[in-house]
Amino acid sequence: MHNKYNLTSIESIFKYFTIMCITSSFFILFIIIVNFSEVNHFMLMNYSLINKEIILLLLILPMIFKLGLFPFHIWINDVYLGINMISIYLISIIPKLTTILILIRVPTINNLMILVALATIILGSLYGINQSSIKLLIAFSGIVNLSLIVLSISATHETFSIPIVYTISYLLSFIGLMMGLIYLKAIYLHDIIGIYSYKKFIAFCSMVSILSVLGFPPLIGFLAKFMLLKGLIINDDMAICFVVIACSFISTFFYLRMINLQFNFENQKLKI
What DSSP letter does each residue of 93-161 carry, written as one string?
THHHHHHHHHHHHS---HHHHHHHHHHHHHHHHHHTTT--BHHHHHHHHHHHHHHHHHHHHHTS--SSH
Q: What are the tens digits of pLDDT across the range 227-262? A: 888 888 888 888 888 888 888 888 888 888 888 888
Cβ atoms 130, 196 nearer than 8 A: no
Average pLDDT over residues 70-99: 82
Q: What are the tens digits of pLDDT across the range 4-57? A: 456 777 778 888 888 888 888 888 887 777 666 554 544 444 444 446 677 777
Q: How many residues make up the chain in this entry?
A: 272
pLDDT of residue 269: 46
pLDDT of residue 172: 87
pLDDT of residue 34: 67
Q: What are the tens digits of pLDDT across the range 175-206? A: 888 888 888 888 888 888 888 888 888 888 88
Average pLDDT over residues 165-178: 86
Q: At 265, is the pLDDT very low, low, confident or very high (cuts 50, 70, 90)?
A: low
Prior bond of 62 cis (ω within 30°) = no
**Rounded CA gap, 173 and 176, in Å?**
5
Average pLDDT over residues 220-232: 87
pLDDT of residue 158: 61
Cβ atoms 169, 162 nearer than 8 A: no
For the cut 50, the answer to whether the pLDDT of residue 170 exceeds it is yes
pLDDT of residue 43: 46
Cβ-Cβ contacts under 8 Å for 81 (sequence gap 6 or more):
8, 12, 133, 135, 136
Q: At 157, is the pLDDT very low, low, confident or very high (cuts 50, 70, 90)?
A: low
Q: What are the tens digits of pLDDT across the range 101-129? A: 888 777 667 788 888 889 998 988 888 78
pLDDT of residue 45: 46
Mean pLDDT, all residues of the chain: 79
pLDDT of residue 36: 65
Q: At 89, is the pLDDT very low, low, confident or very high (cuts 50, 70, 90)?
A: confident
pTM: 0.82
